A = this chain, B = another copy of it.
Amino acid sequence: MNFRSDNVTGVAPEILAAIAAVNQGTMPSYGADPVTERLQQRFAALFAHEVAVFPVATGTAANALALAALTPPWGVIYCHEASHVNTDECGAPEFYAGGAKLMGLPGADAKIAPEAIEARLGDRGIVHHAQPACISITEATEAGTLYRPEEIAQLSAVAQRHGLGLHMDGSRFANAVAALGCAPADLTWRAGVDVLSFGATKNGALAAEAVIFFAPAKAGDLAFRRKRSGHLFSKMRFLSAQLEAYLADDLWLRNARHANRMARRLADGVAGLPGVRLRHPTEANEIFVELPEPVIAALDRAGVGFYRWGGEASSCLRLVTAFDTRAEDVDAVVALIRHSAA
């Protein structure tokens, strides 16, 4: 019963099968293989828009490459102060973008408000100041919440007014699409997103993400950046096959819907218990719940995996559900919390 993260999971059977299936004979390396070529069209169809797709193996690589494409070394990246790019990538965006500056902004439920950005945008063109370059948002957010399409559009309006790029860290993009029931396009280019880090690893892939540009012409240099950072796989077919299987038969949405349902079940199961408080609305596959220490101790004794959110002294747990979380495990955790909270 490990709810510590969705990356403690293994690989979805369909994806493992796809890896095995492409293991046939030789293929051109470095992405010139037919699997990778098919992927371009597959993503274009998914988003109902022309795209340039760059498969990579980690979310940090996808984010750092995408942000570097939008940001000169003297640029500012506006993001939430709790965002993964700001706090959990050991400075990867700064490294890839040659020393750019992340400006972490506050905002409820890990979401940035347009005004928070506009309040920090005064310095364009003045040589003393790092220059506003792009906005990075996370969907679903690090608090397990969701930007609605119209919220993204409002951020995009700020971006357009000030000549900024708009990046979306979609390491849990599937969970967002599944929860909102909208089209992938609605959360991305239709709302003004320029570049998406499309995640698959947390939702069933072995290690596969994709940097997706909705204006392929702007992607020009990404191929060089990817190679130069060591993220161009020689046996690319095995990355691409994961993504292909992920999209096939809506596996990505089926997996995400399951994870979301399990989170819902968990949240509903503990809401309203004495001493128990959900810190953020549960909108995707993460719940953040403040618990009395005896309850936490009970979970720990029972071998339940969790993450103390905000450090070792915090009594707010993050519990993450995934594509393969079992309902009985959720129910067991709920029962345990109910029992110890009583």
Contacts and interface: CB of A to CB of B under 8 A. Distances in A.
Interface of A: 2, 4-5, 7-11, 16, 19-20, 22-30, 56-62, 64-65, 72-74, 87-92, 94-95, 97-102, 122, 127-131, 201-202, 206-207, 221, 223-235, 238-239, 305, 311
B207 A127 contact: no
A129 B82 CA distance: 12
Contacts of A62: 230
A3 B92 CA distance: 37
Nearest to A221: B72
* Oligomer copy total: 4
A211 to B, nearest CB: 11
Most B C-beta atoms less than 10 A away, residue of A30, A221, A225, A230: A230
A8 B28 contact: yes
B102 A99 contact: no
Secondary structure at chain A's binding surface: helix, strand, loop or mixed? loop
Contact of A98 (B19, B26, B99): B99
Contacts of A60: 227, 230, 232
Contacts of A10: 22-27, 235
Nearest to A5: B29
Nearest to A313: B122
A61 B60 CA distance: 14
Most B C-beta atoms less than 10 A away, residue of A62, A92, A129: A92
B130 A91 contact: yes
A8 B27 contact: yes
A47 B141 CA distance: 45
B23 A90 contact: no
B11 A238 contact: yes
A88 B128 contact: yes
